[in-house]
């Protein structure tokens, strides 16, 4: 209950304080990427496996038809999009997802159905958590796109190395998370100082 109240209160405060930044980013997207919508919407798997619509600022060209795995330097990511993704500004609209209860500030990143459907056995415990904007797995792989840019087959590496490791980290979070721990993860996200083995 404390986490539920904290999420909604802080999401409301965040939206209230950051609306000028949200507006500036929206205007820049409209100017620099006039073809297409400002907000990118995608179905993700949330609490108890229920689908919800996640909102982000659009960072790619329209109709790119690319892989679900993003790699740094891809041509489908626009110059403005690269900046937004580097500083995680594209994720600011997720504050709305937190405010309406689809997401939490801290938790496993919500996967697209194809990846969430691959969870079996105790791995499915991850779906008992409300997905988050940040979390221990997100922090470990904050530079995921750069990592994938250095391997020969990004999707295969993601599916066989990164995704299983994220599942392991998220299961550990499921078993050991606490409100105080969440606060530490939020601060670590802000200052990018967290390391996990």
Reported as a single tens digit per residue, the pLDDT across 124-139 is 999 999 999 999 999 9
Reported as a single tens digit per residue, the pLDDT across 87-99 is 889 999 999 999 9
Domain with 98, as residue range(s), is: 2-191
Residue 196 lies inside a defined structural domain of this protein: no
Which of 197, 3, 194, 195 lies closest to 98, judged by CA? 3
The fraction of the chain above a pLDDT of 70, given in percent, is 93
Residue 197 lies inside a defined structural domain of this protein: no
Which of 8, 3, 12, 1 lies closest to 185, judged by CA? 3
* pTM for the predicted model, two decimal places: 0.88
Residue 130 is predicted with a pLDDT of 96
Our CA angle for 174, 180, 183, nearest 5°, is: 95
Domain count, the chain: 1
Residue 10 is predicted with a pLDDT of 96
């Amino acid at each position: 209950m404390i986490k539920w109240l904290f999420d909604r209160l802080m999401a409301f405060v965040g939206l209230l304080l950051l609306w000028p930044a949200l507006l500036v980013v929206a205007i820049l997207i409209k100017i620099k990427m006039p073809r297409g919508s400002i907000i990118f919407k995608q179905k993700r798997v949330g609490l108890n496996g229920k689908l919800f619509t996640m909102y982000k600022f659009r960072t790619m060209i329209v109709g790119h038809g690319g892989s679900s795995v993003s790699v740094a330097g891809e041509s489908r990511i626009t110059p403005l999009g690269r900046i937004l993704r580097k500083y995680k500004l594209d994720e600011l609209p997720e504050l709305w997802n937190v405010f309406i209860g689809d997401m939490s500030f801290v938790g496993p990143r919500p996967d697209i159905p194809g990846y969430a459907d691959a969870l079996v056995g105790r791995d499915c415990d991850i779906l008992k958590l409300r997905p988050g904007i940040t979390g221990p797995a997100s922090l470990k792989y904050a530079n995921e796109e750069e990592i994938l840019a250095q391997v020969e087959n990004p999707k295969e590496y993601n599916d066989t190395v990164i995704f299983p490791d994220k599942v392991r980290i998220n299961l550990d979070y499921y078993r050991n998370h606490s409100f105080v721990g969440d606060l530490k993860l939020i601060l670590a996200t802000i200052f990018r100082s967290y390391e996990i083995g």
